[in-house]
Amino acid sequence: MANKGKIPGKYTNNERRSRNTKFSEKAKPRNIERKISGTKPPESMRLNKFIANSGVCSRREADTLITKGEIKVNGNVVKEMGLTVSINDKVEYKGKKLIPEKKVYLLLNKPKDTVTTSSDPEGRKTVIEIIRNACPQRVYPVGRLDRNTTGVLLLTNDGELSKQLTHPSFEAKKIYHVFLNQPLAPAHLESIKNGIELEDGLVKPDAVNYVDGDPMQAGIEIHSGKNRIVRRIFEHFGYQVEKLDRVYFAGLTKKNLPRGKWRFLADKEVRFLKAGIKTPKPEK
């Protein structure tokens, strides 16, 4: 008898192999279909994020463009806030198709005699020339450092982050190492700590002191983004800044990064950078 010795409800070895073959054959068409259609659906995101990722502006500014009817999606003007689009959708601004880019973040230890611009009409060396072959994306400096100021400089194509880090209300911390042409008088140091009035308003550093007790050197922590602010603070008292080095910017330092060299930020650094941005103070 063929079924002699068979336990009810159990398969013989031959039956098990036959069953497995049938099951695997039934599964094949589904696997093939899934492979053909792609394992991942098109990436989707809110329209304002799509616009910001393309480098046009920040998300908040993108909202304004949308409400003004300046954005088209697949040929149609949209004014709906919170609209979700796919990377396969055609999004246009001023007749130009927008393409969201992968965000990149580079840290440069800026050398002396280099301008913080994309190009220079006077033919001087720019920071963009230093990192020219770093990535296919077009990146821009976050803020500016004077031509002869050295140190930490962030470059990115993340327009929203760049705007946040450079706006005074977000209070991105910056620390500079200042080398003076003569000893900094204690009275002047105290005046700087208390805040001084310059031609464009009151400036008060977050902290300032001698470096290692040397009156020829000062460390100053400040979040103001005014033009040449550190140099002007010391020039106000008649000092000449012979050397100025930014050693800290928004949590980033130049540790293990030689002058004139650059590196990409690690994902962890980017997360810390974004997490460290303070909520802007409400306007009075």
What CATH number does the domain containing 69 carry?
Answer: 3.10.290.10
Residues 177 and 241 reside in one and the same domain: yes
Rounded (10°) CA dihedral 279, 143, 103, 252: -70
Residues 266 and 140 reside in one and the same domain: yes
Residues 89 and 117 reside in one and the same domain: no
- Please say if 120 is a catalytic residue: no
Distance CA 52, CA 54 (A): 5
Residues 111 and 230 reside in one and the same domain: no
CATH number where 121 lies: 3.30.70.580
Residues 109 and 161 reside in one and the same domain: yes
Q: Determine the pLDDT at residue 57.
A: 81
Residues 90 and 180 reside in one and the same domain: no
- Under the banding of pLDDT at 50, 70 and 90, the label for residue 59 is confident
Distance CA 228, CA 44 (A): 42
Identify which has the larger pLDDT, 238 or 41: 238
239: containing domain: 173-249
Closest CA to 131 of 264, 265, 250, 269: 264
* Candidate list 146, 206, 212, 214, residue with the active-site label: 146
Residues 242 and 181 reside in one and the same domain: yes
Cβ–Cβ under 8 Å, residues 269 and 252: yes
Residue 143, in any domain of the structure: yes
197-216, pLDDT tens digit by residue? 999 999 999 999 999 999 99
Residue 21, in any domain of the structure: no
Q: Determine the pLDDT at residue 126.
A: 95
Residues 188 and 161 reside in one and the same domain: no
Residues 242 and 106 reside in one and the same domain: no
Number of domains in the chain: 3
Q: Are strands 71-73 and 76-77 parallel, antiparallel or unpaired?
A: antiparallel
Domain ends where: 53, 75, 97?
Answer: 97
CATH number where 194 lies: 3.30.70.1560
Residues 164 and 135 reside in one and the same domain: yes
Buried b (16+ CB within 10 A) or exposed e, 196-219: beeeeeebebeebeeeeeeeebbb
Rounded mean pLDDT, 8-13: 46
248-283, pLDDT tens digit by residue? 999 999 999 999 999 999 999 999 888 876 554 444
148-173, pLDDT tens digit by residue? 999 999 999 888 888 889 887 787 89
Residue 188, in any domain of the structure: yes
Distance CA 151, CA 110 (A): 5
* pLDDT above 80: residue 195: yes
∠ at Cα 247 (177, 107), nearest 5°?
Answer: 150
Residue 131, in any domain of the structure: yes
The residue ranges of DSSP E strands in 181-273, in sequence order, are: 196-198, 201-203, 207-211, 214-222, 241-249, 252-253, 262-264
Q: Determine the pLDDT at residue 112.
A: 96
Who contacts 182 (Cβ-Cβ below 8 Å, separation ≥6)? 216, 239, 240
**Mean pLDDT for all residues in the chain:** 83
